[in-house]
Structure 1
């Protein structure tokens, strides 16, 4: 697999150049239905066709490559991940889960190897939600759970998702019908390879790990309203300082997550008005994101958070508006597919480590269509969503060997 890994490494370098930012200095920025998305799809289509695959682009701008079985009635095994990035992100997040199975299929094609099942690779158009205020656009469309109202959401330039997809050459009206792209009984499952984006595998000294669950996520928008005033003349005891209220919320939210190892959370965005150096803040807005692989723990924490916010801000004579903007339930990976993946790792002479994903992935949508499983690849320093995101090239060989074993095992299971 050394040569396959070298080819994959080169493809990853080329894909990183499909970016609005200079990836070597600023990281990769590639959003749905943009010129950079188009440039990447052109590259992917070329590589897929060279690997003996047929290609198509669906109404959600997902690219689907198909490596057909020799059997006319074969079921389909799907690999895939997302092509989009966060602004100034890393060059492995998402795209690795497209190019790694593609490199393996290219190897199969060169060897003249066919299976008792079809292999499809999907480059999902959007998972991050960096351009439009919705995540998992591509995989939700494939799974048949796309909300048609999302077509009317707008980006920072006021362009709707509907118009962006239409400009990209897609037919977004077809998404309103929301049928799944596949019959459930025609599929063997969905596998995603992804960088871990955390430090667990590196600390364990392991190149890969098995994901047993994908975290649940919820986001909230909090607007706190106080009263502006002169910072030098209003006594401290008489102030209604919105930013002080926000600081209180941030502290209690952080403590809530610190007290429960099943939770992680972040206050990721803050705006302050009027934001003057000598003006008491009148309005402060912040986002609260809460994650847990155990939905019951997350819902319990939400209730406690809402209660604490009300108590603290009421005590400070501040008014507020708190609105939930997003929620995605946690998803367990298929026990059967995970067992097969575990056997594939064992056959590669790699110790098996199970871990849950604290990040969201396309499997959150795809599990509505078929069974899912995930393979994590070690991330250097656990760093992701950053221009310095890195992996070890030798780990690509390990992952390729695991996926090769996986295909052999699934082939043996087919009648």
Structure 2
């Protein structure tokens, strides 16, 4: 019998625990504690129940958490062979094909199980039904097993718990007869779009889509077709390669004659979207999630024959990552009138000039056509963007969604410290002019200084000792510096302190330094009203509202220069990693993201 929230909320404690039997393997204490903490009116949504159960585990003792992990069986282990698995585990391992391993695969899994237990002291936990819920392949399972075997125990234990929550989520969906249909659609679109990749990467199974390559243009054409299928009234590719879809609102509708109608474009719209280009060997959801989520929202409105008061304009920005040319945010810069004319004369690594590339792609390749893309802010309510978090915070808090408070401002430098290259054996420690040691000291100061202030970060991501040798004291050291904060004031204070300390280090060590600022981006705080709309949308799902800054840059930073903006983050799996093939989301989280977007649209 399909379970309902009404039945669950009406149950007493023994009944509540019994109804949730099998969700968490041999661990009824989780349901017992969730019952004790349930709201007076009961759990308002399945999402609220899932979060409550996960919170119980997060607040449990280390001993209890390890007991929960150890309650799970090994993959293709002794319990499977002896047919003593629970019904739920039997079904999951069967769906993943683990009951039909080849002798070689079975032997490999047995060895992995033994190695993993020897290293960690608990069984390897993996939600084998996967992010889509339809099962991972044996190859994917073995690859994941092998990768996680090298993790640190302090990292792997929470990761096991997160997979246990994913297992529980899928089991709850089965009990409640829930299928995340809209999340599945977005997931399937992202998977399909990932089939397009640039040469040199496609052959290796890697996803890379850079500006106006064949793969990039194929993505644009696919998005165009999907937008038409969704019911957008207008779909086009503009002068910089942005894919633009418009779904008119009542303000855009005007009867031309009795019984007939025509569309005009004088009403205000909500602008939304993100980018469809990728970093090299990147993930499937960075940027693209923010195009596909509003697309499915428009599709649902169209299927229902509904229009909102205001129109919806979805833009798949053609370029944000700065991978092919020394320019970023090409797509969104055009919409706010900040497209730099000198970009057109830039050449990529192969000598292809951007202007020529645009012309070859059938774009006008003129500043006049690009300037014509600038949007009139008076025509728009604002800009909202959905994005994968690209960080671990939501994952660690067991939260599917988070509301962005600000996009960090940043300053970047490339620097070089010069000392004296001398013999490593004959130069006394007190008489060295070691350029690399100075950068090492700077790294530690950046870490200390950034850690002292909330929501401030600093990174030295590149280090190079030119012509370095094992027995030579480094005479030169090149480095990068990336400083970010949620406000320009905090960013500038960090910048001033780091530069001052760098000067002191070099003075004390007898070194010289050059520092070239390569980028300065202002912080983009979320508009309070739009942030509140996102908060209300998340709360309506029965989820707690968690606010967090964005340390990464987004197209919303550019639109911020012209109109109010606010962002919603969706949790990423695999420790929240992004700009990486391991970047992942689940269909259930994406379903909630779509529902939040729909709630925001309804609130306009």
Counterpart pick for 2:190 among 2, 6, 12: 12
Unpaired segments ≥5 residues, structure 2: 1-178, 254-263
Taking the aligned partners of 1:283 and 1:209, their CA distance within structure 2 comes to 44
Q: Which residue of the partner structure matches residue 31 of structure 1?
A: 210
Q: Please state whether the residue corresponding to 1:310 is helix, strand or coil.
A: helix
In the alignment, is residue 189 of structure 1 matched against residue 382 of structure 2?
yes
Higher relative contact order (Cα pairs below 8 Å, separated by 6+ residues) = 1
Taking the aligned partners of 1:309 and 1:175, their CA distance within structure 2 comes to 45
Query: Which has the higher mean CA deviation after the structures are superposed, 231-240 or 366-375?
Result: 231-240
Structure number having the greater helix percentage: 2
1:185-264 aligned within 5 A:
185-264=378-457
CA contact (8 A) 1:218 1:326 kept: yes
Taking the aligned partners of 1:270 and 1:229, their CA distance within structure 2 comes to 20
Taking the aligned partners of 1:279 and 1:352, their CA distance within structure 2 comes to 55
Q: Please state whether the residue corresponding to 1:273 is helix, strand or coil.
A: coil
Q: Please state whether the residue corresponding to 1:312 is helix, strand or coil.
A: helix
Taking the aligned partners of 2:473 and 2:467, their CA distance within structure 1 comes to 8
Change (3 A) 1:317 1:163: farther
Change (3 A) 1:255 1:161: farther
Q: C-alpha root-mean-square deviation of aligned residues, in Å?
A: 2.3
Q: Please state whether the residue corresponding to 2:241 is helix, strand or coil.
A: coil
Aligned residues, how many? Answer: 410
Taking the aligned partners of 2:586 and 2:404, their CA distance within structure 1 comes to 19
Counterpart pick for 2:239 among 40, 59, 82: 59
Taking the aligned partners of 2:464 and 2:220, their CA distance within structure 1 comes to 36
Q: Which has the larger radius of gyration?
A: 2
* 1:319-370 per-position Cα deviation (integer Å, ceiling 9, x unaligned): 1111111011111111112222222223333322222212111111101121
Q: Which residue of the partner structure matches residue 41 of structure 1?
A: 220
TM-score of the superposed pair, with normalisation by structure 1? 0.91
Change (3 A) 1:310 1:379: same
In the alignment, is residue 2 of structure 1 matched against residue 196 of structure 2?
no
Taking the aligned partners of 1:322 and 1:176, their CA distance within structure 2 comes to 37
CA contact (8 A) 2:411 2:495 kept: no
Taking the aligned partners of 1:3 and 1:313, their CA distance within structure 2 comes to 59
1:11-160 aligned within 5 A:
11-20=189-198, 27-53=206-232, 54-70=234-250, 71=253, 72=264, 73-160=266-353
In the alignment, is residue 366 of structure 1 matched against residue 559 of structure 2?
yes
Q: Which residue of the partner structure matches residue 538 of structure 2?
A: 345
Q: Which residue of the partner structure matches residue 504 of structure 2?
A: 311
Unpaired segments ≥5 residues, structure 1: 411-415
In the alignment, is residue 282 of structure 1 matched against residue 475 of structure 2?
yes
Q: How much has 1:279 moved relative to structure 2?
A: 3.5
CA contact (8 A) 1:211 1:333 kept: yes
Q: Please state whether the residue corresponding to 1:45 is helix, strand or coil.
A: helix
Q: Which residue of the partner structure matches residue 413 of structure 1?
A: none
CA contact (8 A) 1:26 1:387 kept: no
* 1:45-73 per-position Cα deviation (integer Å, ceiling 9, x unaligned): 11011122222222222221122234233
Q: Please state whether the residue corresponding to 2:465 is helix, strand or coil.
A: strand
Q: How much has 1:38 moved relative to structure 2?
A: 1.0
Q: Which residue of the partner structure matches residue 388 of structure 1?
A: 582
Query: Which has the higher mean CA deviation after the structures are superposed, 42-51 or 161-170?
Result: 161-170
Taking the aligned partners of 1:159 and 1:230, their CA distance within structure 2 comes to 45
Taking the aligned partners of 1:315 and 1:178, their CA distance within structure 2 comes to 51
Taking the aligned partners of 1:125 and 1:217, their CA distance within structure 2 comes to 23
In the alignment, is residue 378 of structure 1 matched against residue 571 of structure 2?
yes
Change (3 A) 1:125 1:345: same
* 1:193-238 per-position Cα deviation (integer Å, ceiling 9, x unaligned): 0011222222333221211211111101111122334444444444
Q: Which residue of the partner structure matches residue 55 of structure 2?
A: none
CA contact (8 A) 1:4 1:107 kept: no
CA contact (8 A) 1:346 1:352 kept: yes
Change (3 A) 1:39 1:180: closer
Q: Please state whether the residue corresponding to 1:368 is helix, strand or coil.
A: coil
Structure number having the greater strand percentage: 1
Q: Which residue of the partner structure matches residue 591 of structure 2?
A: 397
CA contact (8 A) 1:214 1:293 kept: yes
